[in-house]
Amino acid sequence: MNFTAELFPVSWLILSALLSLVILLFCAGRLPWRTLDGHLLNAGMGATVAVLGLWLLQGGLKPGLSFHLLGAAILTLMLGPALALWALALVLLAMAALGLGAWQAFGMNFLCMALLPVGLVWAVLRISQRSLPAHFFIYLFVCAFIAGGASLLLAAVAGCMALFVAGAYSLDLLLDEALPFYFLLSWSEAFTSGLVMAVLLVYRPQWVSTFDDARYLAERDD
C-alpha cells in the first residue's frame, strides 16, 4: 500500500516524518561505514533496484490501498536491518519521484512498509538463532519464507489500522475488500522471498550478511 497525504491528518504526517528521520539517522550512526564490504554494498544497491521494480508492479482498489510485494525480508537478510531500512527509504523516495507516491506521506509509508516488516524479519532471525537448530533449511524456511510472508501481512494490518483510526476508510471495507487480498499476497511474498534467498545462498552466499556458513552448514556436515 502506498499512502497518500490526504488520508491522514497533517499532525500524523509531520510526526511520522520526524520519527522516520530519527530512525534513519540512528541507523546511519550504527553502521560501520569504514568496514562495510564493497561487494555487499553493490549487491544491496542492485537488490534495492529490484525491489523498486516489485513496487512498480502494483494494482489497487482505492487511494492508499495498492497491492505489491515488499521485498523487505530479502533486503533485511542480505544487508541487515539498518541498511535494509535505508534501502526501503530510497525505494519510497524513488516512488514519490516517479509520481507513484506522496512526499508528504513518506513517514507513514516508511513506518508501515519499512520499519515494521524489517523489524519483524530481524526479530524472527534473532529468535531462530537462539531457539532453533542452526540448519540451512531452518534459516531458509523460517527466516525467509515464513518471515517474508508475515512481514507483508504485518505491514498490511498496520496500514489498515492506521487508515481506520485516521477515518479514511470504514473497518468493514478494510476487512472485506483489502485484508483478504493482502493475506493472499503474503503467500506470494513468502514464495518470492524464499526463492530469492535460496538462489542467493547457493550461488552468492557472500551477498547475504546474516548467513554464516560455519553456523548453518557445519551441523549438516557432521
Residue 29 lies in a domain: yes
C-alpha torsion sign, points 78, 94, 163, 62: negative
| CA 62 remoteness from chain centre | 22
What residues contact 139, with CB distance under 8 A and at least 6 apart? Answer: 128, 201, 211, 216
Residue 2 lies in a domain: no
For 163-176, how does the pLDDT look when each residue is reduced to its tens digit (9 = 90+)?
999 999 999 999 99
Domain range enclosing 44: 8-221
Domain CATH number, residue 195: 1.10.1760.20
The Cα–Cα gap between 214 and 167 comes to 51
Residue 77 lies in a domain: yes
The Cα–Cα gap between 146 and 143 comes to 6
Q: What's the start-to-end Cα distance of the chain, in Å? A: 46
Side-chain-side CA neighbours of residue 125 (13 Å)? 24
Residue 180 lies in a domain: yes
Residue 212 lies in a domain: yes
Residue 157 lies in a domain: yes
Residue 106 lies in a domain: yes
What is the tally of structural domains in the chain?
1
The Cα–Cα gap between 158 and 116 comes to 8
Residue 3 lies in a domain: no
What stretch of H or E contains 168? none
Query: What is the rounded average pLDDT for all residues in the chain?
Result: 92
Q: What is the pLDDT of residue 218?
A: 67
Give strand pairing partners of 67.
59
| CA 41 remoteness from chain centre | 18
For 49-101, how does the pLDDT look when each residue is reduced to its tens digit (9 = 90+)?
999 999 999 887 788 888 999 999 999 999 999 999 999 999 999 999 998 88
Residue 219 predicted with pLDDT over 60: no
For 100-153, how does the pLDDT look when each residue is reduced to its tens digit (9 = 90+)?
888 999 999 999 999 999 999 999 999 999 999 888 999 999 999 999 999 999
Please state the length of the chain: 222
